[in-house]
Amino acid sequence: MSSYTLFFNPMSRAMIAKWAFAEAGVEPELVMVEWENKPQSLLDANPMGKLPTVIHHHGEHDHVITEAAAICHYLAEMEAPDLLPRSEEKADYFRWLLFAAGPMESAVMNHAMGWDPAGERQEGMAGFGSYSRVMDTMDAMLSSRDYVCGDRFTMADVYVGSQFDWGLNFGTVEPRDSFRAYQARLQAREAYRQGMGPAED
Ligand SMILES: N[C@@H](CCC(=O)N[C@@H](CS)C(=O)NCC(=O)O)C(=O)O
C-alpha cells in the first residue's frame, strides 16, 4: 500500500500533484473522483471537496494536505530534498511559488471569467494589481532565467510551471516567448511526461 492517497481526476489541478509525485519518485494510490458523485472519504478529508486532496499515511497518523502549491512543497520536504531550495534559492522559491498560487492564479482566473479591476483604485486593492502587470512581471522573471530559482529545477517549478502549462494550453495565459520556452523546458522532463501521462488505475 502506498503511503499516499491522491484524490484524482485528470481534468483538474490534481494533475499538478501527480506530476509532483512523479518528480519525487513516489507513486500514490489514486482515488478517481467523479464530480457528480464525490466520495465521502474526500469530503471527510477536505470539506471543500476540491482536488487535489492528498492523505499522507504517516506511521500512526493520517495527514491531510490540500492546495496544489502546498502539496508540491510538502512532497519535496517529505520525499525529495534535492528539489527543495538551497539557502541562496529560498527567496526566489517562496516568492514565486506563492505569487503563482495567489496573485497569478487570481489574475488569470478573474481575467478568463471576464472581470478585471477597473482603474487604479481597484488595482490597488486587488492583490494581483492587474492581469497585464502579472504577465509583465512573470515575463521579466522568466526572461532572466531558465527556472524559478535560476539554473536549477526545483519543486517550485512544478507549481509555477503548471500555471503556464495549463494557461498556455487553455489560452488564459498570453503566449509570450519566455512562457513558451519555459513550458517547453518543463515538458521535456521525464517526470513531467510520467506525471502528465494517463493514470494507470
Ligand atoms: N486552491 C485549490 C483549488 C483546487 C480546485 O479548485 N480544484 C478544482 C478542480 S481544478 C475542483 O476540485 N473543483 C471541484 C469543485 O469545486 O467541486 C488548489 O490550488 O489546489
> Tell me: the pLDDT tens digits for 78-89?
999 999 999 999
Q: Which residue's C-alpha comes closest to atom 10 of ligand 1? A: 12
Give percent above pLDDT 70 in the chain.
99
pLDDT of 144 higher than 90 = yes
Q: Please give the full DSSP string across 52-89, using - where no structure is assigned.
A: -EEEEEETTEEEEEESHHHHHHHHHHHH-GGGSPPGGG
Ligand 1 centroid, distance to 145 Cα (angstroms): 30
Q: Where are the domains of the chain?
A: 4-81, 84-191
Q: What is the 8-class DSSP label of residue 28?
A: P
C-alpha cell at 12: 483538474
Whether residue 100 has pLDDT greater than 90: yes
Does the C-beta of 111 come closer than 6 Å to ligand 1? no
Architecture of domain 84-191: Up-down Bundle (1.20)
Q: Are 4-81 and 84-191 in the same CATH fold?
A: no
- Which amino acid, one-letter code, is at 92? D
Q: Which residues pair with 150 in a beta bridge?
A: 147
Say how many Å lie between the CA of residue 144 and the centre of ligand 1.
Answer: 31
Query: For the domain 4-81, what is the CATH code?
Result: 3.40.30.10
Cβ–ligand 1 distance for 13 under 6 Å, the answer yes
Cβ of 50 less than 6 Å from ligand 1: yes
- C-alpha cell read off for 48: 471543500
